Structure 1
Amino acid sequence: MKIILILVLFNLQSGSEVITAEFDDDRACELAALRTFQGVTAEPDLRPLEPAGGATPIDGTVIARDSDGAEIGMYSCNPSRSDGQNG
């Protein structure tokens, strides 16, 4: 089963950047997300997304913060829905 990474880097000056990639397992996907955020801040704080005000959480979504607590992005690693499915 393939795992799809969907990652968004927040950038107020130039706009958010969306990155997608495919991996063979969850661990490889999570490590790729970590390395991406380490390019922004040396020690990103990665935690499950907790939606505001009674909104429904999106399973598997992680928010990344820098050392000051500012949100720098978010990502999710999920199984590809196209694996083994025809048309």
Structure 2
Amino acid sequence: MMRILLIIVVFNFETGSELEMRQDFTNEPDCHAAALSSFQELDEAVQIRAMDIPDGQEMLEGTMIAYGAGGGEIGMYACNTLRSSSG
């Protein structure tokens, strides 16, 4: 069975960024929906866009940025397939 890992980072400049990881997803659409729901708890008008990764910079594949109503970045997330190490 395929499992999807969700990594969410919520930017908080006062107390430090918060990291959340979940791996209870079996498909990417459910993972993306959970991330959107998490960010909507912070800002109902959140917009999610793919991150523009500059050449030469390493970042998780499929990293998405969450923007608040004011246009500022409020966090980022990625949904990635977990690779089984059992053979």
- Shorter-chain TM-score tier: 0.7 to 0.9
Select which of 27, 45, 64 maps to 1:62.
Answer: 64
Give RMSD over aligned pairs. Answer: 1.6
Offset of 1:61 from its aligned partner? 0.3
* C-alpha contact (below 8 Å) 1:5/1:20 kept by paired residues: yes
Aligned length: 84
Q: Which runs of 5+ in 2 are unaligned?
A: none
Select which of 26, 34, 37 maps to 1:35.
Answer: 37
Alignment of 1:4-83 (within 5 A): 4-22=5-23, 23-52=25-54, 54-56=55-57, 58=59, 59-81=61-83, 83=84
Q: Secondary structure at the match of 1:39?
A: helix
Q: Which amino acid aligns with 2:36?
A: L
CA deviation vs aligned residue, 1:22-46 (integer Å, no higher than 9, x gap):
1111011001100000011002110
* C-alpha contact (below 8 Å) 1:49/1:57 kept by paired residues: no
- Tell me how far apart the structure 2 counterparts of residues 55 and 7 of structure 1 sit (CA, whole Å): 23
Ranges of 4+ aligned residues in structure 1 off by more than 4 Å:
none
Offset of 1:57 from its aligned partner? 6.2
Instruction: Return the TM-score normalized by structure 2.
Output: 0.87
CA deviation vs aligned residue, 1:4-23 (integer Å, no higher than 9, x gap):
00010000011100000011
* C-alpha contact (below 8 Å) 1:5/1:76 kept by paired residues: yes
Q: Which runs of 5+ in 1 are unaligned?
A: none
With over 3 angstroms needed to count, the CA separation of the structure-2 counterparts of 1:40 and 1:49, relative to structure 1, is same
